[in-house]
Amino acid sequence: MNPFHPLRGRRLSAVGLLAATALLAAGTAAAAPDATTVKASTLGAQAAQSGRYFGTAAAAGKLGDSTYSTILDREFNMITPENEMKWDTTERSRGSFNFGPADQIVNHAAAHGQRMRGHTLVWHSQLPGWVSSITDATTLRSVMKTHITTEMNHFKGKIYAWDVVNEAFADGSSQHRGSVFQNVLGNGFIEEAFRTARAADPAAKLCYNDYNIEDWNAAKTQGVYAMVRDFKSRGVPIDCVGFQSHFGTGGPPASFQTTLSNFAALGVDVQITELDIAQAPATAYANTVKACMNVARCKGITVWGVRDSDSWRTGQKPLLFDNNGNKKPAYNAVLTALGGTPATTARASAAALPSSFRWSSSGALIAPKPDSTHNIAGIKDPSVVYYNGKYHVFASVASSSGYSLVYLSFSDWSQAGSATHHYLDRGAIGTGYRAAPQIFYFAPQKLWYLVYQTGNASYSTNADISNPNGWSAPRNFYASMPDIIRQNIGGGYWVDMWVICDSARCYLFSSDDNGHLYRSQTGLSQFPNGFTNTVIAAQDSNKFALFEASNVYKVQGSNQYLLIVEAIGSDGRRYFRSWTSGSIAGSWTPLAATESNPLARATNVTFPAGAWTKDISHGEMIRAGYDQTLTIPSCRLQYLYQGLNPNASGNYNTLPWRLGLLTQTNSTC
């Protein structure tokens, strides 16, 4: 944001239409993707285009392996802990619960916008001896209830679907297998487990999960089918059936699709939950995916591990990535069967984002709340993360005497207007020029960072985002303004600092209200220190075309980064232009980058609640996660922005800015 410049006081004369190619470097001149036919280049993003997910089993101990986590976060949008939620980990001795390893995975998933399957609550295997040696029904019933309830409560709100009972049927038979649960509690133990689970977390889907139930003609399949039909007819809570799908080289049985659709017809979702196929033949994988794609209630597919070296069947090389993390032929077959285009044949810009955008805006959701010491006129420059069930919004507040920062949180946008405003100048951040905040969680240090402008680029840290008094005093990223900025800033202002990191480096962007976007970099392990090598990342000879409020995001499930920059249009109104790049430090290719094809401008926004603003100005996308990677979804983007009564005029600092929310209406997924 521009702190002092009275630009809004006068209408700017014709700035002219901006050429889409006006920005820097040549970039790859790939054909822009067509909004209606765009294919994704990763499994998760492509599955999302048909409303499905693509997941994997993951191990907490491997999250620190960067080859592993890079693939995990690029390709998969659902995670099942491979072992961390099993009884022998979570309740090794009676009443003593350990959720640490599973929490690591759940936190990773939340930070990267991935959903979770919970696996598993009641299973005869990986069961501690103290449970399997119980002989008395009253004790076992109580132990089972406590286990289900405690574990589900711990993860409440974070699990899409639970495998409540796993592998309860005997091989080659339509009867239950022998187990302590079956032997001590009898046939009713499955029903008891599901009823307990529903009471513990009514929002989670409850699945029965098993292997060798993919062939419709198998006795075991018929046994599980009869159970689900019985549960549905008697109102026993069950929402889904998981087909593990641990296949031999031949892949799925010919009747697999029939099995999926017959179960779905009982009124449950079906999911492929642990897919791996000996030797990973491409056709066998494609046939499995097609069976799911052909059944509307087949909601998603999970493979049982990332690389062959991660597999429990490692000798059979059954997965989609080889030991080095390279895609195997089966990977491309799966992507194609999901409806996508493998990278080798895809256009260079294959992207999940369209090349033109349409939005619908809310009314003004958040207005300033002046108090006796904050005589403010506007609330501006919002930064927002969704964390722990709440939106956390940081913003500038403006008055004729200058700028400071405010924090508010709420669980739902309908509550945004009534949230309490906490002024951050009451704590260690202090008074004086502090504006244009950016919030993110820096996972390597387990700390929240608030980045803001003070004349320098500054930051404060806090272990608890919800504690407005917990922020540290401002520190500067730079000893002084980097030379290249001093040499190019002209009559502009140094504003809108923005940090984003990939797996190796962090980058600090800033604008100068004079047509330049700057970028500095440091190592991930050095952050927040060491920002050097400041360069001009983008520039435009028309300063209004590349003005301020730049954001850079990682697009989930693609190899793309999105750059958006606020411009001032020929009508004097604020709007956004956009570019993409394959890397944060790469050159930027125009996406929707003109006045006539903008990212967001009053002209491509509808206002069902009334056209309260003609400016779409400084704000932030709602992210898929909340960490330093600044990952946004590729579908149904949302952008929290500042807007303004079109009739307002006067001093820029006392204009009545309000915050509203754009929701993309033309996403193809």
| Maximum Cα interatomic distance, the chain, rounded to a whole number of Å | 85
Amino acid at 535: V
Q: Strand 359-361 to strand 658-664: parallel, antiparallel, or no bridges (unpaired)?
A: antiparallel
C-alpha closest to that of 601 among 40, 15, 38: 15
Size of the site for ligand XIL (CB under 6 A): 6
Contact 520, 533 (CB under 8 A): yes
Q: How far is the CB of 169 from ligand XIL (least distance, A)?
A: 13
Residue 244 or 521 with smaller CB distance to ligand XIL: 244
Nearer to ligand XIL, 166 or 458 (CB): 166
Q: What are phi and psi of 411, to 5 degrees?
A: -90, -20
**Do residues 551 and 620 lie in contact, with contact meaning Cβ atoms separated by under 8 Å?**
yes
Q: What is the nearest approach in angstroms of ligand XIL to the Cβ of residue 120?
A: 6
Among 69, 70, 83, 183, binds ligand XIL (CB under 6 A): 83
148-187 residues in contact with ligand XIL (CB under 6 A) are 166
CB 562 within 8 A of CB 578: yes
Q: Judge contact between 84 and 101, C-beta under 8 A.
A: yes
Of residues 87 and 576, the one with the C-beta less far from ligand XIL = 87
CA-atom Rg of the chain in angstroms: 27
Phi, psi of 175, deg, nearest 5 = -105, 160
Q: Closest Cα to residue 318, out of 344, 282, 272?
A: 282
Between 310 and 381, name the residue whose CB sits nearer to ligand XIL. 310
- Residues of span 385-424 touching ligand XIL by CB under 6 A: none
Nearer to ligand XIL, 303 or 500 (CB): 303
Annotation marks residue 192 as catalytic? no
CB nearer to ligand XIL: give 121 or 152: 121
* Token pair for 491: 């009559």
Q: Is the Cβ of residue 274 or residue 496 nearer to ligand XIL in the bound state?
A: 274
User: Closest approach of Cβ 472 to ligand XIL, in Å?
Assistant: 42
Q: How far is the CB of 56 from ligand XIL (least distance, A)?
A: 11
Pairwise CA distance, residues 380 & 367, whole Å: 9
Q: Is 82 in the site for ligand XIL (CB under 6 A)?
A: yes
Minimum Å gap between C-beta 352 and ligand XIL is 30
| Residue whose CB is less far from ligand XIL, 222 or 314 | 314
The whole-angstrom separation of Cα 388 and Cα 377 is: 31
Q: How far is the CB of 170 from ligand XIL (least distance, A)?
A: 15
- What residues from 308 to 327 belong to the interface with ligand XIL (CB under 6 A)? 312
Measured distance CA(254)–CA(260) in Å, rounded: 12
Residue closest to ligand XIL, measured at CB: 312
Report which secondary-structure segment, H or E, holds 204. none
Nearer to ligand XIL (CB atom), residue 163 or residue 512: 163
Q: CA angle at residue 84 from 82 to 87, to 5 degrees?
A: 110
Residue labelled with tokens 């599955």: 47
Q: Mark 39-78 with x for binding to ligand XIL (rule: CB under 6 A) and - for no binding.
A: ----------------------------------------
Gap between the Cα atoms of 402 and 378, Å rounded: 11
DSSP 3-state of 578: strand
Shortest approach of ligand XIL to residue 125 CB, angstroms?
A: 7
Binding mask 240-279 for ligand XIL (x = CB under 6 A): ----x-----------------------------x-----
Q: What is the DSSP letter of 86?
A: S
Rounded Cα distance, 273 and 284, in Å: 16
Distance CA 160, CA 180 (A): 28
d(CA 563, CA 40): 19
Please confirm, yes or no, whether 91 is among the known catalytic residues.
no
The least CB distance from residue 207 to ligand XIL, in Å, is 11
Separation of alpha carbons 106 and 523, rounded Å: 26
Minimum separation from the CB atom of position 390 to ligand XIL (A): 33
Q: Annotated catalytic residue: which of 274, 548, 566, 620?
A: 274
Catalytic residue among 167, 214, 548, 595: 167
Residues marked active site are found at: 167, 274
- Applying CB under 6 A, the residues found at the interface with ligand XIL are 82-83, 166, 244, 274, 312
